[in-house]
Amino acid sequence: MKKIIGLAGSTGCVVGSAVVFATKELSLNAVLVEDVEKEIEAMDAARQKYDASLAELAATAGEGQGEIFEAYQEILADDAGFFDDVKATIRNERVCSSYAIEQKRIEVESIFMSIDDEYLKQRADDINNVCHELMAEIQGISGGDPFEGVEGESLIVFAEDLTPADTVRMDRSRLAGMVTEKGGVTSHTVILAKTLGVPAVVGAGAFLADITNGQNVILDGATGIVIVDPEESELKEFMVRKEAADKKKAIYDECMVKPAYSKDGFLTRVNVNTGDNESVENFKAANCDGVGLFRTEFLYMSQSDYPSEDFQFEAYKNLAEKCKDKELIIRTLDIGGDKQLDYMNLPVEANPFLGYRAIRLCLDRTDVFKTQLKAILRASAYGNVKIMFPMIVTVDEVKEAKAILETAKAELREQGIPFNENVPVGIMIETPAAVLLSDKLAQNVDFFSVGSNDLIQYTTASDRQNELVQYIYNNCNISVLRAINMVAENAHKHGIEIGICGEVGSEPRLIPLWLAMGIDELSVAASLVGRTKFILSQFSKEELQAVKDKVLDSEQIFEVIKTLDETLEKAGIDE
């Protein structure tokens, strides 16, 4: 038995048989050439041939997978930025095209790697992939289906690295999993594995020398653990776990695409939280009821300077169009606290979580705020967009933010740019001040969304990032649960909806409590939509009222946990 531990790339448990995908060795030496123009012509012909194969892959790839190959085609077509330099090297140094491409690839890779941005670093992988495949084309060793000549059905491929094109070329009906020595969790290969629903473990370090074709393998994509040649007992244990997990997943997947009605007909919308590139790319409106929290900070963090109105508009519009008539709640910039932006030159503060952050910063930097509001408003012409302000403490802040929104609207009107005049405006309830003022706040906005991650921290005075105080930072803290109940009552008394977009929204034992409180919308991680909907569908709102009363009347947290766990247990839910 051999255990390989890597990064959890794409979730899922499989058992299968190993196939070693040996990348063919490329020749990267500086071979001198006589006729440089002929060398360039041959390279351009290979570019064309590779481009045609990418176009074919883009056309035949499944839904959501074609974009990767289109992005590759763009890199391949980059004459001014990349291939002009390659051609200059061939001409000036009289060297072969593979060597010239490799020199340019190394140069570009080092630039990308020097930028402190995980996403950009992994985009360097795309350029590497294009260069390697082009060189393979030039040298006549471009890859086909790595499963050709391999027997068996459930095949787990082991490779140093895999390009998306390698993945698409595989016989996908037999591909059960992927394990790579290199690569990160946001690489396009992983994104593709997720779209294909294939478990993947990546970045596992050197292992290829120890693997041979046909070895038995257990792969757990959720934990990043791979067991090669497992013992009989490990296989048995795995099969039991897998069977239970598969059964649950099938039930959850069925629930994911349906409305989440309780047994007595109360409907809770289950939305997803998104914002980072990977989850935006993977977002599928069919698998949820909408987006309950679009964390726009990620857009700002992926740039080295303030993102322009047009840049933001494209990003918001893209998601609004994906959502169609389902809601898309865009939260305005929530920077500060644990999220910093170099180009903003934010002051160093003794207590950043109590300092210059989120709406406070936006109301001060109205130029930055208005640019964002205009971009969101413009996107509102393309879908069911709602605007949400974070970290609200007072009604004054809401009025001020809404006044800036009105000036943004006036400017767009003047420019003749369309937007939804009645775009709903909501706020996050993340501070005890907002909880205590929720009756007044409700009269000034269209909806509330509870940011429990922060609300727990501010209510219990325990830093959400400090492991020493995590015993106080508790999901089931009674003061927090009472606070959320109070906000729900005030929202409904004034005829507005309340959602929860913090992590407690998908906490299994708390879901019945949210149903009992009549929370209208829960926004959760995309992978948890099905489970959340399933739990909601197992209870009757009316019957849970007694549970709610008992929980809110508890003295100690262990009593809350006991009551809620018994409630799940009685309904036969094991989570």
The residues assigned a catalytic role are: 188, 501
Question: What is the Cα–Cα distance from 220 to 216, expressed in whole angstroms?
Answer: 14
Q: Using CB distances below 5 to 8 A depending on partner kind, what does residue 318 bind out of ligand PEP, Mg ion, none?
A: none
Interaction between residue 336 and Mg ion (CB under 5 A): no
Site string for Mg ion, 227-256 (x = CB under 5 A): ------------------------------
Stretch that binds Mg ion, among 233-241, 264-272, 430-438, 519-527 (CB under 5 A): 430-438
For residues 454 and 497, which CB has a smaller minimum distance to ligand PEP in the complex?
Answer: 454
- From the CB of 178, what's the least distance to ligand PEP, in Å? 31
Which entry of ligand PEP, Mg ion, none binds 295, CB below 5 to 8 A by partner kind?
ligand PEP
451 binds Mg ion (CB under 5 A): yes
Q: Which is nearer to Mg ion, 167 or 279 (CB)?
A: 279
Give the nearer residue to Mg ion in terms of CB position, either 217 or 398: 398
Instruction: Return all residues near 173 (Cβ < 8 A) that are at least 6 apart.
Output: none
Positions that interact with ligand PEP (CB under 6 A): 293, 295, 334, 430, 451-454, 501-502
Contact 168, 61 (CB under 8 A): yes
Burial of 478 (0-12, 13-18, 19+ CB in 10 A): middle
Site residues for Mg ion, window 337-366 (CB under 5 A)?
Answer: none
- Strands 267-274 and 260-261, bridge-based pairing: antiparallel
**Binding partner of residue 501 among ligand PEP, Mg ion, none, CB cut-off 5 to 8 Å per kind:** ligand PEP
Closest approach, Cβ 459 to Mg ion, in A, equals: 13
| CB 451 to Mg ion: min, Å | 4
For residue 255, the SS3 value is helix
| By the rule CB under 5 A, 297 interacts with Mg ion | no
Q: Least distance from C-beta 383 to ligand PEP, angstroms?
A: 21
Nearer to ligand PEP, 134 or 319 (CB): 319
State in angstroms the smallest separation of the CB of 511 from Mg ion.
20
Q: What is the C-alpha separation between 266 and 1, in angstroms, rounded? A: 51
Query: Smallest distance from the beta carbon of 392 to ligand PEP, in angstroms?
Result: 12
HSE toward the beta carbon, residue 147, CA cutoff 13 A: 22
Of 397, 454, 503, 520, the one binding Mg ion (CB under 5 A) is 454
Give the whole-angstrom CA distance, residue 95 versus residue 116: 34
In the sheet where 2-5 sits, what is the strand order?
A: 2-5, 225-228, 216-220, 13-21, 155-159, 175-180, 200-202, 7-10
Q: Which does 526 bind (CB under 5 to 8 A by kind): Mg ion, ligand PEP, none?
A: none
Residue 57 binds which entry of ligand PEP, Mg ion, none, CB below 5-8 Å type-dependent: none
* Pairwise CA distance, residues 258 & 236, whole Å: 34
Task: Using CB under 5 A, count the residues that bind Mg ion.
Answer: 3
Nearer to Mg ion, 257 or 461 (CB): 461
Q: Are 52 and 179 in contact (CB under 8 A)?
A: no
199 binds, among ligand PEP, Mg ion, none (CB under 5 to 8 A by kind): none
- 502 binding partner (options Mg ion, ligand PEP, none; Cβ < 5 to 8 Å by kind): ligand PEP
99-137 burial, b if ≥16 CB within 10 A, otherwise e? Answer: bbbbbbbeebbeebeeeeeeeebbbbbbbbbbbbbbbbb
Query: How far is residue 135 from each of residues 56, 98, 481, 529, measured CA to CA in Å?
Result: 19, 6, 60, 43
Return the C-alpha torsion angle 372, 377, 380, 382, nearest 10. -80
Q: What's the closest the beta carbon of residue 354 comes to Mg ion, in angstroms?
A: 13
292 binds Mg ion (CB under 5 A): no
What's at 552, amino acid-wise? L
Task: Residue 524: count other Cβ atoms within 10 Å of its Cβ.
Answer: 27
Neighbours of 463 (CB within 10 A): 16
158 or 473: CB nearest ligand PEP: 473
452 binds, among Mg ion, ligand PEP, none (CB under 5 to 8 A by kind): ligand PEP
Cβ atoms 501, 292 nearer than 8 A: yes
Encode 447-459 in three state secondary structure: EEEECHHHHHHHH
Which tokens in the block code for residue 369? 């705020």
At closest approach, how far in Å is the CB of 318 from Mg ion? 24
Q: What CA dihedral angle connects 32, 35, 36 and 37, to 10 degrees?
A: -160
Q: What are phi and psi of 101, to 5 degrees?
A: -65, -45
Taken as a whole, the chain contains a residue count of: 575
Name the segment binding Mg ion (CB under 5 A); options: 189-197, 252-260, 341-349, 429-437: 429-437
For ligand PEP, give the closer residue by CB, 97 or 372: 372
Per-residue DSSP letter, 287:
G
By the rule CB under 5 A, 275 interacts with Mg ion: no
Q: Cβ closer to Mg ion: 155 or 434?
A: 434
CB under 5 to 8 A by kind: which of ligand PEP, Mg ion, none does 168 bind?
A: none
Nearest distance from residue 334's CB to Mg ion, in Å?
6
Nearer to ligand PEP, 137 or 430 (CB): 430
- The stretch near Mg ion (CB under 5 A) out of 147-155, 306-314, 407-415, 426-434 is 426-434
For residues 237 and 226, give the distance between their C-alpha atoms in angstroms, rounded to a whole number. 14
CB 191 within 8 A of CB 282: yes
Which tokens belong to 301? 């963090």
Q: Which residues bind to Mg ion, rule: CB under 5 A?
A: 430, 451, 454
